[in-house]
Chains A and B, each alone.
Chain A
Amino acid sequence: MAIKIRAKNVEVSYGDKKAIKDISLNIKKNTITALIGPSGCGKSTFLRCLNRMNDVIENCSIKGSVLLDEQDIYGPDIDPVELRARVGMVFQKANPFPKSIFDNIAYGPRIHGLASSDNELKDIVHNSLEKAGLIDEVKDRLNDQATGLSGGQQQRICIARAIAVSPEVILMDEPCSALDPIATAKIEELMNEISETYTIIIVTHSMQQAARVSKKTAFFHLGDLIEYNDTDKIFTQPDNEKTQDYITGRFG
């Protein structure tokens, strides 16, 4: 299968402190890749490299290259704003804007000018909510505040919001860490459904979740990529002893 993202010798440091060291990783197109590892291992930092969200953080420097469809996203002719439209992101804490549900989903299409008419915008919002499996729950109250929804619904609003821009890649930074098991199950189901059309990279603390949803898993530890392989392989017979220890719960 085709390679969507090719990370080569990526190194990120905040000031003097190195967060990740020399990471090289190829992400397959239209699959779900999970990044696991103990807290502070650099998996979120790596994730944020893939759509240049680290640019926003002060005194953060990045070495190496990240190729999206064989094009370096840190190259001089790349606009991070356009990049983030291609590589969307869903955050750990559901962060719907203090606007109506409709305006939340329409936010991305509006700023990128994706809809030429009101009807087209409505279609985009409708389709995104449908893909996110939310449409039945919210179709009668699109003008209500998105912040009034439950935590799980809010997180799915955020996923729908990311889908509405029709990105190629969706990055998810522990999207279920604040949700109950039922809401988590819904989001995992949703990820499975949309993984045919989107390349998804998910950072998670739950190894069961990684095992359930992902095809490929990368294990990070102290800023190093320890092991990267098919999920089945990682969770049944890992090559590295540290991976073995981590997935069996001996540390982390």
Chain B
Amino acid sequence: MQNIPLSFVFFMLIGVSLFFYFYSKNNILKKAAFVGQRSKALPSHYGQQSFLWAFIPSAIILIFLTIGGPNYIDQLFYNKIQELNPKLNQSFVSLILAKVINVSNGKIATADEKILSLASDYKAALDQLHFYRGLVVILCAALVGMFVSSLQSPRANARENVEKLIINIFFVSAVIAIFTTGAIILSLLFEALRFFSLYNFFNFLFGLHWAPNVAIRSDQVAAAGSFGMIPVLVGTLLISFIAMCVAIPIGLFSAIYLAEFASPRTRDFVKPTLEILAGIPTVVYGYFAALTAAPFFREIGFSLGLDVSSESALAAGAVMGIMIIPFISSLSDDVIRAVPQSLRDGSMGLGATKAETIYNVVLPAAIPGLVGAVLLAVSRAIGETMIVVMAAGLSASLTVNPLDSVTTVTVQIVSLLTGDTEFDDIKTLSAFGLGLALFFFTLLLNIFALSISRRLAERYD
């Protein structure tokens, strides 16, 4: 049977739907002329109605068949192989199935008769699936399109139907976004639960020692790992705190300058330049932190007689702060400029200076937005990965000394999950525990930020 490729089906589907668009558009005019009155909606609305009805259900069928079809065939062949070799271990069945699939699409060759016959069966099944997929989708589009366009009457309002359909499309899009987030949380949660079945939850949450060095193979000798997340969390908070000490004053002050003092020409130059900072890939900041900032702080520390680690929290935090400046300055600038000019006039009209006006009137009115901007930046600092992977340390020491080397939650997750790892190992699974902790931490922060800015917004509304 002939294989109909996906792209062909897709373009055919669009073609058929477009056909019904133009067909209905013209047809409704004829119908309207026949009954001797104007159609209730514009002719293009009837066209859109037919297009959407022909396109959407068929597109959904197409998506299901494309994703679910091959899976179904795989399952069929898996069962078939198992029936042929009842004693075979599950993973060997999967192996044979993989071989069959690879032979069927010509990636590998084999002389094994059994496999060859299975492979040709598999190819035939897949072709059959693709053929019927094309047939079903196009037929469905054609039938539904014909059905809808023949039912259309100039007395029925197609615009209402089209608008309802489009509102539903928006709704489904919103739901998809929420479901995806939910799915991400669930996947994190399930892996984390596996970790907590191996390691006590409270020991993880309140433990003061982080040393995930366990034996990966049973013949290796290593200490039993210890997974107390406090040192890692403190490291994250320390670096984020340093970053905020850099980013909040500079970002806020530059926003005040831009919004209140800069001439339009300066503003046109400075604001885009600041926003370029936001476009630099974080890995470049990582280089900067590891190769420039860290040695710089080390030198200064030495000249002052201080012992600065070459992977100091200070260097990573400072560079992260620089990365965050444009977030704070750009958001705050917008917020400050949104304060009505009438408030500034009122204050100036009473004889307040510009500084008094900004301090007493503009900033208080902008506070909710400013708090939002800062807390958004904090969430970003906590979740930032690349800079700390390159510039912060790996060993988890419980310290708040910015000159020491600390590690962060994100660094640990990266180091636990990269390289050859087994996914049923406590060491690997602990990464999901950390991920879940990080997720809840930023979630709480965001909820806190929202509630604060909402409360302040009420006060200053």
Taking Cβ atoms with an 8 Å cutoff, the residues of A that contact B are 51, 53, 56, 58, 81-86, 88-91, 93, 95-99, 107-108, 111-112, 145, 147, 158, 161-162, 165
Contacts and interface: CB of A to CB of B under 8 A. Distances in A.
Contacts of B364: 97-99
7 contacts: A88-B350, A97-B343, A97-B346, A97-B365, A111-B352, A111-B360, A147-B461
Contact of B340 (A58, A90, A95): A95
Contacts of B216: none
Contacts of A98: 343, 364-365, 459-461
B307 interface: no
Contacts of A51: 349
A165 B356 CA distance: 15
Given A98-B461, A147-B461, A91 B351 contact: no
Contact of A108 (B342, B350, B460): B350
Contacts of A158: 346
Interface residues of B, number: 23
Contacts of B41: none
B351 A165 contact: yes
Contact of A84 (B343, B348, B361): B348
Given A58-B263, A97-B343, 10 more contacts: A85-B350, A89-B349, A91-B342, A95-B346, A96-B346, A97-B347, A107-B347, A108-B351, A111-B351, A145-B459
Q: Which of B340, B346, B461 has the most CB of A within 10 A?
A: B346
A96 B352 CA distance: 15
Contact of B349 (A58, A91, A93, A96): A91
Given A98-B364, A98-B459, A99-B364, A56 B345 contact: yes
Interface string B343-384: 111111111110010001100110000000000000000000
B350 A95 contact: no
Contacts of B348: 53, 56, 84
Given A98-B461, A147-B461, A161 B343 contact: no
A51 B229 CA distance: 63
Contacts of A88: 349-351
Interface string B152-190: 000000000000000000000000000000000000000
A83 B353 CA distance: 11
A186 to B, nearest CB: 20
Nearest to B353: A81
A111 B459 contact: no
A58 B262 CA distance: 12
Contacts of B344: 56
A89 B349 CA distance: 5
Contacts of A86: 351
Contacts of A53: 345, 348-349
Nearest to A90: B349
A230 B1 CA distance: 102
B85 to A, nearest CB: 77
A145 to B, nearest CB: 7
Nearest to B349: A89
A83 B352 CA distance: 10
A101 to B, nearest CB: 14
Contacts of B346: 91, 95-97, 158, 161
A84 B459 contact: no
Contacts of B345: 53, 56, 89, 91, 95
B323 to A, nearest CB: 33
A53 B349 CA distance: 7
Nearest to B457: A98
Q: Which of A86, A88, A96, A99 has the most CB of B within 10 A?
A: A99
